């Protein structure tokens, strides 16, 4: 395997074997830059002031040292660490991460936040905990009641400190810190460093190590010719969004980067299940296995390589056209390394990043550091996809018309059919068969579009409860103020998206631009229209015909 000089493994970080094992089990192959820089001084007991956004791996950067210090203490005297976070979501996420990393150490981690019945928290605190992850308000509440003892604290972590200040927790934080032992170790992470954060750091951190993950501009050499874009999607829609993007882009060969081995394995499986030819490549594989995978890519037996950074290091794949980041990379440097694999030798390459709403800020950081523009694009809709697939079928037919000299042997088929049907109809049926034989099945659900307003972008960068709540979206109205109509005719009635748009825009005040996703199934179609226009559209379409026939129109109520 090719390993660059700067590569450093978790084993170099002097972490306990139990922690290393947990990281291995989670499929983490190497520390992220913030982890490389933060873990050693934290293990030495230094205070730390870190500027890092979500997506950099900052949670593990403080969680691992906390767990290590916890396991070193001799006797129990209340919690050993207090981690303050701005939101309940983050309290739960950080606790879960600590559970995962600390499973072999037996860490007892308790999230406490407002909104949860206090009785449960009291009982858990009574039984004894090692690490408390709390929102400042609820922490102060427990301190006031005497149920959260801070006397035994060795570490305090302020996570997403700028968010906590924005949410008005400044005084609570000051009050909590006053109550903690003088000789505690203090860690402060913040995505931005406004003067107020500096003030807190000056008052409460002693001689801190300062870390900022976006230092100098990475040396990119001559800048490659790469079209860079990103799609904002929630975690649960990522596999579908990736499929959609792959279908529209149709890469000759692509490499899809994941963070962990587990993610590589499960994404490879998902992609193969969806009919792509994907191969996994990660650091846990032997040389022989790797060679086999690379062979399949070179010969075109596979066209997608799903890999971790470590595994893909040093790979040079001639025919690569696309680099896809299934997650936002943990540092701008890593982004640059990844996309440097395409756009070589004057050929244009494409770099695509799937980002969760909360990773939006990291994307901005990458843009700033690399001084390049990453265009945020809309995930292709089902209508886009259908159009693209039809275009591919058209292109294949065009090629066949230009190049095939043995088309004549099919003449008899056409001629016998034209006794009964006209040539246009025969051609349509033939195109349909050709199209369907490409496996171009109707896609699943529409992927909700996520708008990032300026304020939301700001909040999403840090606080995790600001993201859109469309994960649980059912089949009801799917966009802000949009409703879905069921139209009782589909592909088998030769309905195309433009027929629906035409009928709606022609008969009502709704313009084509206002119409959302259109999904055409075999026997029905679904169209998104503004909620406010539902009745008008239903009335108008019931009065008119689509493709010469009357069709059922109703509001879609998830019945298929």
Contacts with ligand AMP by CB under 6 A lie at: 28, 31-32, 35, 54-60, 259-260
Is residue 28 a contact partner of residue 50, using CB atoms and an 8 Å limit?
no
- Spatial distance between the Cα atoms of 431 and 424, rounded to a whole number of angstroms: 10
Closest approach, Cβ 145 to ligand AMP, in A, equals 31
Closest CA to 28 of 71, 2, 59, 68: 59
Residue number with CB closer to ligand AMP (188 or 487): 188
**How do the residues of the chain divide into helix, strand and coil, expressed in percent and rounded to 5?**
45, 15, 40
Closest CA to 200 of 168, 166, 158, 167: 158
Closest approach, Cβ 153 to ligand AMP, in A, equals 22
φ/ψ region of 73 (left if φ > 0, alpha if ψ in -120 to 50, else beta) reads: beta
Residue number with CB closer to ligand AMP (63 or 489): 63
Residues 6+ apart with CB under 8 A from 60: 23, 28, 32, 35, 97, 101
Residue number with CB closer to ligand AMP (89 or 104): 89
Closest approach, Cβ 3 to ligand AMP, in A, equals 16
Closest CA to 331 of 213, 212, 210, 159: 213
Alpha helices (runs of H) in 182-315, residue ranges in sequence order? 195-204, 238-249, 261-273, 287-298, 309-312
Q: What angle do CA 210, 109, 32 make, to 5 degrees?
A: 35
Residue number with CB closer to ligand AMP (36 or 479): 36
Closest approach, Cβ 336 to ligand AMP, in A, equals 18
Residue number with CB closer to ligand AMP (237 or 479): 237
Burial class (CB in 10 A: 0-12, 13-18, 19+), 221: exposed
Closest approach, Cβ 56 to ligand AMP, in A, equals 5
Residue 271 DSSP code: H
Closest approach, Cβ 35 to ligand AMP, in A, equals 6
Residue number with CB closer to ligand AMP (3 or 429): 3
Residue number with CB closer to ligand AMP (57 or 530): 57
Closest approach, Cβ 335 to ligand AMP, in A, equals 14
Residue number with CB closer to ligand AMP (64 or 200): 64
DSSP H or E stretch at residue 65: helix 58-72
Closest approach, Cβ 69 to ligand AMP, in A, equals 19
Residue number with CB closer to ligand AMP (28 or 486): 28
Closest approach, Cβ 259 to ligand AMP, in A, equals 4
Closest approach, Cβ 327 to ligand AMP, in A, equals 7
Closest approach, Cβ 26 to ligand AMP, in A, equals 7
- Spatial distance between the Cα atoms of 541 and 500, rounded to a whole number of angstroms: 10
- 431-437's contacts with Cβ under 8 Å and 24+ in sequence apart are 431/393, 431/397, 434/393, 434/396, 434/397, 435/389, 435/390, 435/393
Residue number with CB closer to ligand AMP (59 or 525): 59
Residue 159 DSSP code: -
Q: What's phi and psi for 225, nearest 5 deg? A: -85, 90
DSSP H or E stretch at residue 411: helix 411-418
Residue number with CB closer to ligand AMP (35 or 180): 35
Residue 546 DSSP code: B
Q: Strands 304-307 and 254-257: what pairing?
A: parallel
């Amino acid at each position: 395997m090719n390993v660059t000089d700067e590569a450093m493994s978790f084993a170099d970080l002097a972490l306990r074997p139990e922690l290393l094992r947990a990281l291995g089990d989670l499929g983490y192959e190497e520390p992220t830059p913030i982890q490389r820089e933060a873990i050693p001084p934290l293990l030495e007991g230094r205070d730390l002031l870190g500027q890092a956004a979500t997506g950099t791996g900052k949670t593990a950067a403080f969680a691992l040292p906390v767990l290590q210090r916890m396991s070193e203490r001799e006797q129990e005297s209340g919690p050993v660490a207090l981690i303050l976070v701005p939101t309940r979501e983050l309290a739960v996420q950080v606790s879960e991460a600590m559970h995962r990393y600390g499973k072999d150490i037996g860490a007892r981690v308790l999230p406490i936040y407002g909104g949860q019945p206090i009785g449960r928290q009291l009982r858990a605190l009574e039984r004894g905990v090692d690490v408390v992850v709390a929102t400042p308000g609820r922490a102060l509440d427990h301190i006031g009641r005497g149920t959260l003892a801070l006397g035994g604290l060795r570490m305090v972590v302020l996570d997403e400190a700028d968010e906590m200040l924005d949410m008005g927790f400044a005084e609570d934080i000051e009050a909590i810190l006053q109550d903690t032992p003088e000789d505690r170790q203090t860690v402060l992470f913040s995505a931005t460093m406004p003067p107020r954060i500096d003030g807190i750091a000056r008052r409460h951190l002693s001689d801190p190590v300062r870390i900022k993950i976006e230092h100098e501009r990475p040396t990119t050499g001559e800048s490659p010719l790469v079209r860079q874009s990103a799609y904002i999607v929630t975690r649960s829609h990522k596999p579908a969004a990736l499929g959609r993007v792959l279908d529209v882009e149709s890469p000759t060969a692509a490499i899809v980067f994941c963070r962990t081995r587990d993610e590589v394995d499960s994404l490879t499986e998902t992609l193969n299940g969806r009919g792509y030819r994907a191969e996994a490549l990660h650091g846990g594989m032997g040389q022989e296995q790797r060679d086999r995978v690379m062979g399949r890519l070179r010969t075109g037996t596979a066209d997608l390589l799903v890999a971790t950074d470590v595994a893909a290091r040093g790979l040079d794949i001639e025919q690569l056209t696309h680099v896809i980041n299934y997650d936002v990379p943990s540092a701008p440097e890593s982004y640059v390394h990844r996309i440097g694999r395409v756009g070589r030798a004057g050929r244009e390459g494409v770099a695509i990043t799937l980002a969760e709403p909360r990773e939006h800020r990291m994307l901005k950081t990458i843009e700033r550091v690399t001084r390049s523009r990453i265009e945020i694009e809309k995930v292709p809709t089902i209508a886009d996809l259908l159009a693209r697939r039809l275009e591919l079928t058209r292109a294949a037919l065009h090629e066949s018309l230009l190049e095939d000299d043995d088309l004549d042997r099919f003449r008899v088929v056409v001629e016998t059919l034209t006794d009964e049907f006209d040539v246009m109809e025969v051609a349509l049926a033939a195109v349909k068969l050709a199209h369907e034989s490409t496996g171009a099945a109707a896609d699943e659900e529409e992927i909700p579009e996520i708008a990032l307003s300026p304020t939301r972008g700001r909040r999403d960068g840090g606080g995790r409860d600001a993201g859109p709540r469309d994960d649980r979206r059912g089949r009801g109205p799917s966009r802000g103020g949009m409703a879905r109509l069921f139209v009782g005719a589909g592909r088998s009635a030769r309905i195309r998206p433009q027929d629906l748009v035409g009928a709606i825009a022609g008969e009502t005040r709704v313009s084509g631009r206002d119409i959302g996703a259109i999904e055409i199934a075999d026997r029905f179609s679904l169209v998104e229209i503004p909620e406010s226009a539902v009745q008008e559209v239903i009335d108008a379409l019931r009065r008119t015909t689509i493709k010469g026939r009357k069709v059922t129109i109703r509001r879609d109520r998830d019945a298929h």
